[in-house]
Structure 1
Amino acid sequence: MPFQKVQPEKLSTSVVRQIELLILRGILRPGERLPAERELSERLGVSRPSLREAISSLQDKGLLTSKAGAGIFVTDVLGGAFTGVLVQLFAAHDEAVFDYISFRRDMEGLAAERAATLASATDLQVIQTVFNKMEAAHSKRNPTDEARLDADFHLAIIEASHNVIMLHMMRSMYQLLREGVFYNRTIMFKHRTTRSELLEQHRTINNALQTRDAEGARAAVASHLDYVEQALSDHQKFEKNEAIAQQRFTHELSR
């Protein structure tokens, strides 16, 4: 008979599995600091030696890292998603910018459709909370917070789609966006009119999600990213025309 005796699982192994799942599901995020050893052992209900054994195992796997005097952190597992050479290639060619937007349109449209169907009530509360923060940040003159919350809003939708592969892939894509690899995000939030239009687009996406309108959510995401694509295209044309105008002006002064 194909039966074997059940072996009791070590406490440290249970801790490893729990922390791995928290990282996999995107609940523990790259760079996030774990609670101090005493607090964490109490939360998990295990001894500190068992916790240390689990932490050591996770460090060996490259999921956690220790910083002297600072504590234990989730490793930036997204850092290796793209090689440095590829990142430089993305940054050097405009083609990558528009392919990136096209990729987002497809992936985020699907994520919104899934979220409208699969998200729990709590998932939708998270999305609503992020949108409320974005709306509050809209009144500030400096657009930095609103731009950051824009990314958080889209990632909250991806989290609510409950697909861990999509989650980590899109987080790596957003990390490149935050670093300005594809384009400078402040371009999109530079003008008050543009900021207002972007906020209303996010409101439309949020409303569709809150009412579980899957088709409407996907269409709203596509419409939003169509707008982003057009705005970036217009900005690039403006910069090109301005460069030509500067050449003419310099030449006219020298005549």
Structure 2
Amino acid sequence: MKPMRLSDHIAQQLEIMINARGLLPGDRLPAERKLAEELDISRSSLREAIQKLASRGRLVSRPGGGTYVCDVPHSWSEEVIVDPLASLFMVNPEYRFDVLEIRHGLEGAGAWHAALRATDDDKRRLRARFDAMIELHGSENTMDEARADATFHLTIAEASHNLVLLQVMRGLFTLLQTNISQNLEKLYTLPKVFEPLSAQHRELMEAIIAGDPERARHAAHVHIDFVHTSLKTIDEDEARKARSLRLPSEKV
């Protein structure tokens, strides 16, 4: 087997560090000198590894401004298909229910482990993400609120300290925020839907902070089930209205 190049090994170390520290799109890496000392490598080797990750769209370096974890390259509103799952999602909006089914399993497990493993820093970060999400309610740009919502759920995955779960959730980030955006647009047609959604997110956060895994998993399932049931209700109401507006067939 061909040995791994040093730069590839360092790039792998950087990926592990990004995941382990829960760095999100837009977060800055430590200064180059500090990072090189921390990894016990030369700065030239570090730069080569950063360039590799930059070429994959994982990092971006700004001249004189440091290196940052890359944001999602394209938002749903830009009408660019960047993922085969997103492609399916555009063709048939019913796939949002498939996403919810996957979220039910993943986020229940993530909440369980987060309640058991979250550090004090994880808990502070989770509370900050919750506050940011609440502050963006009613934003003119639905994607801003969806991004904050998706980031809150991703923060729970980070607090689980399960790197496989975290990688899966990160891979679904674009799809997740798209799913949330479309769900929000639908859900906010219902009166007083913000209160139960906020209460569900708060309960999920508080269960994790309290270190209660059963309560946290239950809160995650209650939230996803509420969204699923509410969307089904909206779809059924819209279908009934559409049928009632159809003109009767002309008699032959």
- Which residue in 2 is equivalent to 1:44? 36
- Which residue in 2 is equivalent to 1:130? 129
Q: Distance in 2 between matches of 1:88 and 1:17?
A: 29
- Which residue in 2 is equivalent to 1:98? 97
CA distance 1:156–1:180, shift in 2 (3 Å):
closer
Which range is displaced more, 43-52 or 153-162? Answer: 43-52
Tell me, yes or no, if the aligned pair for 1:16 and 1:58 is still in contact at 8 Å: yes
Report the TM-score when normalising by structure 2.
0.72
Alignment of 1:1-255 (within 5 A): 16=11, 18-25=13-20, 27-30=22-25, 39-41=31-33, 44-45=36-37, 48-58=43-53, 63-64=58-59, 74=69, 84-93=83-92, 95-138=94-137, 142=140, 144=142, 145-180=144-179, 183-191=182-190, 193-248=192-247
Q: Distance in 1 between matches of 2:228 and 2:217?
A: 17
- Alignment length, in residue pairs? 235
SS of equivalent residue, structure 1 residue 248: coil
Tell me, yes or no, if the aligned pair for 2:110 and 2:156 is still in contact at 8 Å: yes
* Aligned residues: CA RMSD: 4.0
Measured after TM superposition, the shift of residue 53 of structure 1 is 3.3
Query: Where does the alignment leave 5 or more consecutive residues of structure 1 unmatched?
Result: 1-9
Query: Where does the alignment leave 5 or more consecutive residues of structure 2 unmatched?
Result: 1-5, 75-80
State the percentage of identical aligned residues.
Answer: 35
Measured after TM superposition, the shift of residue 41 of structure 1 is 3.2
Measured after TM superposition, the shift of residue 97 of structure 1 is 2.3
Which range is displaced more, 150-159 or 219-228? Answer: 150-159
- Which residue in 2 is equivalent to 1:6? none
Measured after TM superposition, the shift of residue 24 of structure 1 is 4.0
SS of equivalent residue, structure 2 residue 169: helix
Q: Distance in 2 between matches of 1:128 and 1:33?
A: 20
SS of equivalent residue, structure 2 residue 247: helix
Of the two, which has the highest radius of gyration? 1
Report the TM-score when normalising by structure 1.
0.71
Measured after TM superposition, the shift of residue 83 of structure 1 is 7.5
Tell me, yes or no, if the aligned pair for 1:63 and 1:77 is still in contact at 8 Å: no
CA distance 1:27–1:215, shift in 2 (3 Å):
closer
| Amino acid of the structure 2 residue aligned with 1:245 | S
Q: Distance in 2 between matches of 1:85 and 1:17?
A: 25
Q: Distance in 2 between matches of 1:185 and 1:223?
A: 17
Q: Distance in 2 between matches of 1:77 and 1:149?
A: 13
Q: Distance in 2 between matches of 1:26 and 1:186?
A: 32
Measured after TM superposition, the shift of residue 42 of structure 1 is 5.3
Measured after TM superposition, the shift of residue 181 of structure 1 is 9.2
| Amino acid of the structure 1 residue aligned with 2:47 | R
